[in-house]
Amino acid sequence: MADKFAGTWALDMSENFDEYMKAVEVNFVTRKMASVLKPNVIISVEGDAWTLKTESTLKTSETTFKLGQEYEETTADGRTVMTTFTLDNEGKLIQEQKGKVPSTITRELIDNETLLCTCVAKDVTCKRKYKKVV
């Protein structure tokens, strides 16, 4: 299952991202910069270690994790959260972030060509679609 997520994914569509960033209390300047970026997400898996790297012209962030193990993460926007990744029975990669404002980010594959990322915080839902590049 993990191999299906591996690869480079380019942002194709983003819906309600600014509202999501407001919900997790990202500051105005960072929100405005992030809202115009078209990042690539690179996912790799080596053994039981996953790496999720987000690259843009402004900033690159990277996190490495093992499924089911909570760890401290500094998000791309500078928040410190306790994060746990899991794979559910439907093959969705779920990222739970516990911090000042809890957030859940669910990544699922559609036809192995699209990575749908659904971000939820408070009563806000954001959807971002990525197309497979490599």
How many Cα atoms sit within 13 Å of 73 on the Cβ side? Answer: 27
pLDDT at 50: 97
Nearest in space to 93 (alpha carbons), one of 85, 82, 101:
85
Q: What digits encode the pLDDT tens for the residues 43-60?
A: 999 999 999 999 988 889
Per-residue tokens: 26: 């990202």
Q: Which CATH architecture has domain 2-132?
A: Beta Barrel (2.40)
Q: What is the pTM of this model?
A: 0.92
